[in-house]
């Protein structure tokens, strides 16, 4: 019986998870930049950068590993306690994940509500990675701008490189390594927007993939016109893994092999079925063509994505309405893919005074991705001639 996840892929997943879990409890001044998981050698004691994990951080990191890999039945020597090195944890997890029915759990990312655990059979995720590997046979190196403990990074920066037997380089949008033919950049739309502004040209043979939020066709055209060889967009979620993929500038998504539509045509076909017959209701309204290709029309629940995180503008507007001096508010996704707000003051007052009160309030009660980055003020919310809410400039 073989290990479900190759060791180096497992190393990347584990180290990204521990780093993320630790950064949740540390002040911003202790957070470092992207650290390559390859630096987490087997004999390394638990630490993030040069800072060792304290006792509480060690407990939290261990709990996160138990949660992700379902390690409830993992037994430790009572005299030694849990593992203290990276290699020891990898050994224990690898032993536990042997078998055809091995699974792991990823958490949904969202700015409201409690993150939801999503269980995936590892064989399904590896089949997805093999499918993408067949689409990208010329990849020689993966440049990872996303962590590997969320579903997108797990498949594309851990399982896919293992499938293709290619190295992974951890990077950021502003600290890319010298690019070479055969590089595949794994990023989210915010990264691609930054790269489109920062780079005027791309070396030959460099491809990209995007997920986590819609990618504008205009942005894709800018990147391709600058010389990016190929750009894929993956549609999916933490609950489903990858559902479909499109190769820009082609406008149609194609379902991955393990999915079928419960309904094959129509403007609202949002139910998919896996190979076992299990059905999943997708969060988006889809327009499905007769050939099975589809376009995403919009979210059913009104959510938008900011930095790959689901945000509900109406919930943000509710928070703004509770700020003293605010009578009403509307929130939308702006041109820079950050939220913008229109607020109606209770009384006529100096605009700067109102914003001086509103900005600290927003920072106190909203997460960074929920905070509007631009504000407009007026006596009434913008509406069309028919009285329906509308956008503003």
Residue 30 has pLDDT above 50, yes or no: no
The least confident of 23-37, 231-245, 368-382 is 23-37
Residue 356 has pLDDT above 70, yes or no: yes
What's the CA gap between 110 and 117, in Å, rounded?
A: 12
Burial class (CB in 10 A: 0-12, 13-18, 19+), 238: buried
Residue 300 has pLDDT above 90, yes or no: no
**pLDDT mean over 3-27:** 83
Highest mean pLDDT out of 84-93, 141-150, 283-292, 301-310? 141-150
The least confident of 65-74, 128-137, 353-362 is 65-74
For domain 121-304, the CATH class is alpha beta
Per-residue confidence (pLDDT) for residue 268, from 0 to 100: 54
Q: Give 238-282 pLDDT, tens digit per residue.
A: 889 999 999 988 779 999 999 999 865 555 558 899 888 888 888
Q: Give 106-157 pLDDT, tens digit per residue.
A: 988 654 446 789 999 999 999 999 999 999 999 999 999 999 999 999 999 9
Q: Give 198-246 pLDDT, tens digit per residue.
A: 999 999 999 999 998 888 888 999 999 999 999 999 999 888 999 999 9
79 pLDDT band, cuts 50/70/90, is low
Residue 26 has pLDDT above 60, yes or no: no
Global pTM value: 0.80
Question: Domain limits of the chain?
Answer: 7-99, 121-304, 312-377
**pLDDT mean over 48-64:** 86
> Between these two residues, 249 and 60, which has the higher pLDDT value?
60
Residue 3 has pLDDT above 50, yes or no: yes
Per-residue confidence (pLDDT) for residue 28, from 0 to 100: 39
**Domain 312-377 sits in CATH 3.30.2310.20:** no
- With beta carbons less than 8 A apart as the criterion, state whether 392 and 382 touch: yes
Q: Are strands 326-333 and 284-288 parallel, antiparallel or unpaired?
A: unpaired
Per-residue confidence (pLDDT) for residue 387, from 0 to 100: 72
Confirm whether 121-304 and 312-377 share one CATH topology.
Answer: no
């Amino acid at each position: 019986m073989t290990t479900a996840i190759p060791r180096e892929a497992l190393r990347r997943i584990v180290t990204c998870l521990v780093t993320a879990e630790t950064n949740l409890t540390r002040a911003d001044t202790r957070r470092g930049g992207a650290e390559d998981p390859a630096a987490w050698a087997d004999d390394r004691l638990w630490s993030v950068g040069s800072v060792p994990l304290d006792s509480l951080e060690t407990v939290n990191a261990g709990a996160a590993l138990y949660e992700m890999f379902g390690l409830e039945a993992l037994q430790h020597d009572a005299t030694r306690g849990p593992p203290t090195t990276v290699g020891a944890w990898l050994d224990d997890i690898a032993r536990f994940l042997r078998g055809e029915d091995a699974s792991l759990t990823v958490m949904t990312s969202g700015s409201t509500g409690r993150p939801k655990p999503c269980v995936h059979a590892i064989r399904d995720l590896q089949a997805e990675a093999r499918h993408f590997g067949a689409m990208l046979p010329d990849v020689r190196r993966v440049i990872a701008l996303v962590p590997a403990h969320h579903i997108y990074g797990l498949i594309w920066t851990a399982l896919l490189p293992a499938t293709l037997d290619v190295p992974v380089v951890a990077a950021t949008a502003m600290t890319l390594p010298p690019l070479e033919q055969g590089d595949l950049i794994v990023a989210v739309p915010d990264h691609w927007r930054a790269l489109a502004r920062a780079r005027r040209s791309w070396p030959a043979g460099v491809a990209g993939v995007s997920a986590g939020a819609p990618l504008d066709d205009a942005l894709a055209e800018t990147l391709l016109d600058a010389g990016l060889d190929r750009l894929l967009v993956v549609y999916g979620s933490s609950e489903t893994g990858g559902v479909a993929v499109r190769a820009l500038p082609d406008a149609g998504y194609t379902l991955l092999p393990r999915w079928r539509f419960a309904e094959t045509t129509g403007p609202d076909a949002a139910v998919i079925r896996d190979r076992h017959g299990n059905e999943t209701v997708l969060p988006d309204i889809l327009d499905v063509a007769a050939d099975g290709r589809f376009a995403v029309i919009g979210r059913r629940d009104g959510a938008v994505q900011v930095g790959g995180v689901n945000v509900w503008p109406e919930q943000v507007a509710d928070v703004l309405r509770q700020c003293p001096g605010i009578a009403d508010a509307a929130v939308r996704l702006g041109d820079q893919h950050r939220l913008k707000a229109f607020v109606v003051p209770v009384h006529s007052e100096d605009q700067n005074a109102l914003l001086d009160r509103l900005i600290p309030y927003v920072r106190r009660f909203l997460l960074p991705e929920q905070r509007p980055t631009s504000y407009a003020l007026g006596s009434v919310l913008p509406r069309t001639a028919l009285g329906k809410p509308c956008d503003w400039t």
